[in-house]
Structure 1
Amino acid sequence: MSTAALPTPAFDRFYRHEELTQLLRDYAEARPGLVELRSLGRSHEGRDIWLAVLTNQATGADADKPAFWVDGNIHAAELTASTACLYWLHQLLSNHGEDAKVTELLDSRVVYLCPRLNPDGAELALADVPRHIRSSTRPYPFDEPHVEGLTVQDADGDGRILQMRIRDPNGSWKPHPEEPRLLVPREPGEFGGSYYRVMPEGLLEQGFDGTGIRVNRDREGLDLNRNFPAYWRQEFEQQGAGPYPTSEPEVRAMVDFIVRHPNIGAAVSFHTHSGVILRPMGTQSDDDMTPEDLWIYKRLSDLGAKLTGYPAISIWHDFKYHPKEIITGTQDWVYEHLGALFWTVEIWAPNKEAGITEYDWIHWYRDHPPEDDLKLLKWSDEHCEGRAHNDWRPFAHPQLGEVEIGGWDRMNYWRNPPPKYREREVARFPAWLTQLGLTLPKLQLLSASAEPLGPQTWRVAVVVGNAGYLPSYVTKRALERKVARACVFELELPPGASLVNGKRRIEGPQLEGHAPKNSLQAFLPEREVTADRARAEWIVRAPAGTVLGFKAASGRAGTVRCELTLG
């Protein structure tokens, strides 16, 4: 295996597409036996969507091993998600052969790692004149430019998109009485003070008539995370979902790949921000989930909380954007349709950095005390050189006249950590990701035997077992949906050999793992003590010295092959 020096990426900066492409190629060149670079397909604008296939190729092909899918940066400006993938990639390749867990993971399983699922949107966010859209750059739902309204953009040319404020007696915001740099909401019934109308930094498509300002939605209105098949809904119910499920090439590329790789038993998708680990369901309460799946989700999520320092919470119970609405996306498709385990990780919580510890994940953004804003401003001054919150400065706006630009830099300090914190944040995840990968089911050969029954007649048998923590089907949902195939045995007969009894292909059982039973009755004797094993048997007629081939495949648990010489 190659021992060439690995690339030394800078985890405090974000890579544009050409740089990212070269970095991934450098990894593949440095460790050709551990990483293969493939393209999932091309984006709307024609960029490759890169996939790093990470496994020890000397121990078998990736398609024959249990697989773990990890992706990032499906949302355009959530660039730290890409950094998290690159960081784990670097850790895996640096520690194979040195760290026992990493070595076992890459020797016995495969990681499919997609650092940037949405290269077009990321490229726009990283442009010299940036724009921060939700996802894909394809115009949607209409392919036409705005002709009126305010379009969010870098109006003053400083490479950032902040806020604009205009003095207005009917404005909703006022300076904090102790810290005038900071705007806080006007109190109910308050009057007689100095107030501001606040809007995103941008330019008006037509001249200002002195009355109406409407902020335009992004012309590129897609949300790729709403384009997956499970619970897809039209635009009036789920904004940005696209004209039909998998209509977008980025999502279709991911869906096609995962469907073609039934060895994938678990997945993690990196996003920003909130500093939490999210688990399914997005459409049902815990009471409505399959209990056995909920128990294993909680067990592995709690492990994530312990290893990362991020709380693990339910999407349905703790992370709804609106209490009367549901959120669906990748997590529902991977778990609901495929029955594979799935987590969304929301990287980075600036409010935590500022010492705000007791808050509701979503409600805080709708309503929080001014004291929290003071803590955040203090954090900006002391730890971010005053750049997380920017002092208001005059700007001669070409349509609005005199305005002030400033406030929170949401792109560089809220959606993503500032550079000095990026590596620290993404370093939280490798231990948990590696542990998740090692929980996957793993088919292994226990024995292959031949017993002579008479002249050139043999009873041959193969026994396999599941060496993994999880069962071969991974979740009960997979059994309910009939999407996880049980163990299948195949006998390969050479010329001169014939089958006397049995079938060339035998459908065996699902194989349990060594996870403890999820039942309050666990103190009772276990009935199926060896439910992790399966045996297939044939009667074969062949001369001594004949070499028989055997194959056992169990979808998510992988494939094993062996040969047996008669006599």
Structure 2
Amino acid sequence: MPEIHFDRYYRYDELTDLLHAFAQEYPQLVQLESLGQSYEGRDIWLATVTNFETGPAAEKPALWTDGNIHASEVSPSSACLYLLNKLVTTYGNDENSTRCLDTRAFYICPRVNPDGAEWALADVPKIIRSSTRPYPYDEDPIDGLVQEDMDGDGRMLYMRIPDPNGPWKAYPEDPRLLIRRDPIETDGEYYRLFPEGRIENYDGKHIFRQKAKEGLDLNRNFPGEWRGEGEQAGAGFYPVSEPETRATVDFIARHANIIGGITFHTWSGVILRPYDMKSDEAMPAEDLWAFKKIGNKGTDLIGYPNISVYHDFRYHPKQVISGAFDEWLYDQRGVFSWTVEIWSPQQQAGIEDYKFIEWFREHPIEDDLKLLKWSDEVLDGKGYIDWYEFDHPQLGKVELGGWDMSYSWRNPPPQFLEKEIAPMADWAIWHLLISPRLELFDVSVSPLGGGTYQVELTVQNTGWLPSYGSKKALERKIVRGVVCEIELPEDANLKTGQSRQDIGQLEGRSTTPSAATPWWAMPMDTADRATATWVVQAPNGGKVKLIAHHQRAGTIRTEIELD
């Protein structure tokens, strides 16, 4: 059995070894393949997880999960590994895991962006947004502050520099904290605040953050609502211009059985749903209802609120996000898609009912005191570092300190990792179990005389979601109806009916009202069932083989004797 620990973060070679070990240890449940190569030539690993003895993954409803598309967001890889580990180690013992793998499939891609993660996890880390490809220009930047561990203590903190025109001052009740100076305040001790780092070509006057040479954001490079660099920073040269996004899009587009998708990110402690660029009013009502019900289950299991990106998670009130994975997955593929932002220091510190983005612009000092107490008592003072003097090569005497972002904010500290990600596996399993499921309801043969028979195949959807998944999938014409096929014995022929029939979509239970009250229009009683009918001329009888398949609801096979 692979030896895996959820109190540490794995670099690429270790992650690769772990995934291969899972495939070798559980060949009946796990198959490993490479989606393609990253910009630097690393394999982007994908684990297909199902009980292969009950049928191939492609013939079962599937859930896509991925992580680590953003370079320093490494805990999402751990969330994917935890899901993989739980599925294979609880199969045969846990009812949900067993039923899920017997009837459905997972596609798990723990690290979409192996290059950026390798930079973030290096002994001397370099923190970038996403891909390591130079963008939008090839030349090296020449001026400005470069974030760096200046004193060699393994941390990249902040630099506090005294300046009579600085916007910050020490909080009187706890001088470790910095608060805003009053708009008309003068004659105090004030500071400027910068990331810890060196300044290239410092002129003794101006300090500005050097723009990263690697300006791509892979989560702005997907085809859904893609906009160019002038409208969306980091978008790439064209939709799926990058090998990582192209490999992801190609796989998903070729696997119509994918009906749900969860992409793990950090941080905020929130479950995000589409749309990113449009109001909820633009979404089919039935899809919005389903999104809210699925999201509420995620909130129940994980503890994170579930919200709309467009309505509740904007970086600026006048700014929308485009080219993101979740938007493409829902709007173009009709898949219920989610972005889970792992970890929230605010929630850990007991801060409640805060606005996820607006909080960073405006919040009460009481929140900072709660966070500081959390760092002191829970993180043993390792989250927020008291200011200490440092002789900077360009700036002279400065103070280093403040939040250690890499340790306390960007990902869960390793000792809290497993507790944080464990409930996410339960939600992923639940999410897949609500998928449509094509099953046999009845098959019958009625002799009509003279070696003629009527054959009927009735199938039903036993899943919560309808066979097509979302109304958006119908609108985009992504999925066919249930296709029924008949294979005749020798010397037999069809009198009526086609050998291949599309008998339409099957409804699920997702629109069932909360109570059987008279006002709400009830769903059709048997809209979850449909029948294919053939009349067969078979003078010598024989065996008829029948197959029914749906791209998102699965495949069933049966046979019956003509007698």
TM-score strictly above 0.5 = yes
Comparing 50-59 with 145-154, which one deviates more in the overlay?
A: 145-154
Give the aligned residue type for 1:136: S
The answer on whether the counterparts of 2:38 and 2:44 sit within 8 Å (CA) in structure 1 is yes
Q: 1:309 aligns with which of 294, 303, 314?
A: 303
Comparing 106-115 with 454-463, which one deviates more in the overlay?
A: 454-463
Partner of 1:326: 320
Partner of 1:195: 190
Comparing 321-330 with 519-528, which one deviates more in the overlay?
A: 519-528
Q: How far apart are the structure 2 equivalents of 1:261 and 1:518?
A: 32
Comparing 74-83 with 400-409, which one deviates more in the overlay?
A: 400-409
Give the aligned residue type for 2:97: V
Q: 1:522 to 1:510 in 2, by over 3 A?
A: farther
The answer on whether the counterparts of 2:511 and 2:523 sit within 8 Å (CA) in structure 1 is no
Q: Does 1:247 align with 2:241?
A: yes
Partner of 1:3: none
Unaligned regions of 5+ residues in structure 2, if any?
Answer: none
Partner of 1:121: 116
Comparing 287-296 with 486-495, which one deviates more in the overlay?
A: 486-495
Q: 1:553 aligns with which of 543, 549, 555?
A: 549
1:178-219 per-position Cα deviation (integer Å, ceiling 9, x unaligned)? 21222222221221111111111222232x211111211221
Partner of 1:220: 214
Q: Does 1:85 align with 2:80?
A: yes
Comparing 490-499 with 92-101, which one deviates more in the overlay?
A: 490-499
Q: How far apart are the structure 1 equivalents of 2:268 and 2:510?
A: 31
The answer on whether the counterparts of 2:34 and 2:45 sit within 8 Å (CA) in structure 1 is yes
Partner of 1:288: 282
Partner of 1:464: 459
Displacement, 1:495?
Answer: 4.3
The answer on whether the counterparts of 2:128 and 2:212 sit within 8 Å (CA) in structure 1 is yes
Comparing 117-126 with 393-402, which one deviates more in the overlay?
A: 393-402
SS at match of 2:436: coil
Partner of 1:539: 535
Comparing 281-290 with 190-199, which one deviates more in the overlay?
A: 281-290
1:379-430 per-position Cα deviation (integer Å, ceiling 9, x unaligned)? 1111112111112222332333332222111122101111111111001212
Displacement, 1:168?
Answer: 1.0
Partner of 2:395: 400
SS at match of 2:65: strand
Unaligned regions of 5+ residues in structure 1, if any?
Answer: 1-5
Q: How far apart are the structure 1 equivalents of 2:347 and 2:444?
A: 60
Partner of 1:24: 19
Displacement, 1:494?
Answer: 4.9
Displacement, 1:527?
Answer: 6.3
Q: 1:518 to 1:294 in 2, by over 3 A?
A: farther
Comparing 438-447 with 144-153, which one deviates more in the overlay?
A: 144-153
Give the aligned residue type for 1:539: V
Displacement, 1:305?
Answer: 0.9
SS at match of 1:310: coil
Q: How far apart are the structure 2 equivalents of 1:186 and 1:76?
A: 35
Q: 1:230 to 1:519 in 2, by over 3 A?
A: farther
1:335-393 per-position Cα deviation (integer Å, ceiling 9, x unaligned)? 11111101111111101211221311111111112222122112111111211111222
The percentage of aligned residue pairs carrying the same residue is: 54
SS at match of 2:79: helix
Q: How far apart are the structure 2 equivalents of 1:62 and 1:502?
A: 30
The answer on whether the counterparts of 2:9 and 2:414 sit within 8 Å (CA) in structure 1 is no
SS at match of 1:462: strand
The answer on whether the counterparts of 1:130 and 1:154 sit within 8 Å (CA) in structure 2 is no
Displacement, 1:546?
Answer: 2.7
Give the aligned residue type for 1:323: P
1:139-182 per-position Cα deviation (integer Å, ceiling 9, x unaligned)? 11111111111222333333322212221111121111121222
Q: How far apart are the structure 1 equivalents of 2:531 and 2:237?
A: 49
SS at match of 2:131: coil
Q: How far apart are the structure 2 equivalents of 1:543 and 1:126?
A: 72
Displacement, 1:503?
Answer: 1.2
Give the aligned residue type for 1:548: V
Superposition map of 1:144-543 within 5 A: 144-206=139-201, 208-328=202-322, 329-517=324-512, 523=518, 526=522, 528-543=524-539
Q: How far apart are the structure 2 equivalents of 1:526 and 1:398?
A: 74
Displacement, 1:78?
Answer: 0.9
Q: How far apart are the structure 1 equivalents of 2:241 and 2:134?
A: 13
Q: 1:311 to 1:527 in 2, by over 3 A?
A: closer
Q: State TM-score, norm by structure 1.
A: 0.95
The answer on whether the counterparts of 1:146 and 1:205 sit within 8 Å (CA) in structure 2 is no
Give the aligned residue type for 1:542: A
Partner of 2:129: 134
The answer on whether the counterparts of 2:480 and 2:504 sit within 8 Å (CA) in structure 1 is no
Partner of 2:34: 39
SS at match of 2:232: coil
Q: 1:317 to 1:522 in 2, by over 3 A?
A: farther
Q: 1:205 to 1:496 in 2, by over 3 A?
A: farther
Give the aligned residue type for 1:362: I
Q: How far apart are the structure 1 equivalents of 2:91 and 2:395?
A: 59
Q: How far apart are the structure 1 equivalents of 2:547 and 2:243?
A: 36
1:55-83 per-position Cα deviation (integer Å, ceiling 9, x unaligned)? 01111100000011111111111111111
Q: Does 1:562 align with 2:558?
A: yes
Displacement, 1:520?
Answer: 9.8
The answer on whether the counterparts of 1:130 and 1:159 sit within 8 Å (CA) in structure 2 is no
Comparing 542-551 with 71-80, which one deviates more in the overlay?
A: 542-551
Q: Does 1:49 align with 2:49?
A: no
Displacement, 1:297?
Answer: 1.0
Displacement, 1:447?
Answer: 2.4
Give the aligned residue type for 2:216: L
Q: How far apart are the structure 2 equivalents of 1:154 and 1:7?
A: 35
Q: How far apart are the structure 1 equivalents of 2:321 and 2:513?
A: 28
Give the aligned residue type for 1:243: F
Q: How far apart are the structure 1 equivalents of 2:478 and 2:501?
A: 18
Q: How far apart are the structure 1 equivalents of 2:287 and 2:60?
A: 23
Q: 1:447 to 1:520 in 2, by over 3 A?
A: closer
Q: How far apart are the structure 1 equivalents of 2:170 and 2:50?
A: 56
The answer on whether the counterparts of 1:292 and 1:518 sit within 8 Å (CA) in structure 2 is no
Displacement, 1:513?
Answer: 1.0
Q: How far apart are the structure 2 equivalents of 1:268 and 1:407?
A: 33
Q: How far apart are the structure 2 equivalents of 1:405 and 1:266?
A: 45
Q: How far apart are the structure 1 equivalents of 2:253 and 2:353?
A: 41
